[in-house]
């Protein structure tokens, strides 16, 4: 797929089928993650958890719905890339770095014809003491900072409807 087409296909999908994402596609997404930029060359500052475990996914859904009274924060997606900080993370860079990693995941998912959505909501609502984090059994000092849900999504083959309308200023 041409790069501009990938850009046109990138969008947030909020409905998923039960179809599993193949291990080949997961590997492609991991390769895209490893092509990310990261501030101060700090590779040790991030850990990526690839979550297919239904108990963990269901725990996120249940905990978040209980806390917010809203709908499923994962939209039924079967695969979740959880970007985690570590003891080595540089605090003033963590939001930039994790956002860049998330964007790489979304762009690759778009190229693969998969749906995806960047998720900060449940990470923020549930905090560090959440039950889903205990179930993830992460190494000491490792905590989620941002996640991207990925899956087969109706409409994933269609282009995004609208573009951003950021104001642009030229300073010649």
Ligand X SMILES: Cc1cc2nc3c(=O)[nH]c(=O)nc-3n(C[C@H](O)[C@H](O)[C@H](O)COP(=O)(O)O)c2cc1C
Rounded least distance, CB 132 to ligand X, Å: 14
Cα–Cα distance, 61 to 70 (Å, whole number):
10
Which residue is nearest to ligand X, using beta carbons? 121
Which spans of this chain sit near ligand X (rule: CB under 6 A)? Answer: 11-12, 14, 99, 117-121, 160
Distance CA 48, CA 29 (A): 11
Judged by CB, which is closer to ligand X: 117, or 172? 117
Choose between 139 and 162: whose C-beta lies nearer to ligand X.
Answer: 162
- Closer to ligand X by Cβ: residue 56 or 77: 77
Shortest Å distance, C-beta 23 to ligand X: 26
- Report how many helices (DSSP H) and strands (DSSP E) the chain contains, helices first: 6, 4
> Rounded to the nearest whole angstrom, what is the least distance from the CB of residue 12 to ligand X in the complex?
4
Q: How far is the CB of 171 from ligand X (least distance, A)?
A: 26
- Cβ distance 125 to 68 under 8 Å? yes
Q: Which residue's CB is nearer to ligand X, number 25 or number 122?
A: 122
Provide the phi-psi class of 137: left if phi over 0, else alpha when psi is between -120 and 50, else beta: left
Of 132, 153, 164, 158, the closest CA to residue 56 belongs to 132
């Amino acid at each position: 797929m041409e790069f501009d087409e990938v850009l046109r296909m990138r969008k947030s999908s909020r409905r998923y089928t039960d179809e599993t994402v193949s291990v080949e596609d997961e590997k492609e997404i991991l390769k895209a993650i490893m092509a990310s930029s990261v501030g101060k060359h700090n590779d040790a500052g991030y850990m990526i958890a690839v979550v297919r475990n239904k108990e963990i996914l269901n725990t996120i859904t249940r905990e978040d719905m209980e806390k917010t009274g809203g709908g499923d924060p994962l939209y039924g997606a079967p695969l979740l890339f959880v970007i985690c900080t570590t003891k080595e993370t540089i605090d003033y860079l963590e939001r930039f770095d994790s956002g860049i990693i998330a964007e790489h995941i979304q762009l690759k998912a778009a190229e693969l014809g998969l749906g995806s959505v960047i998720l900060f909501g449940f990470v923020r609502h549930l905090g560090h003491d959440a039950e889903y984090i205990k179930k993830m059994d992460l190494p000491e000092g490792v905590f989620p900072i941002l996640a991207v849900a990925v899956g087969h999504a109706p409409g994933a083959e269609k282009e995004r409807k609208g573009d951003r309308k950021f104001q642009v200023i030229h300073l010649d």
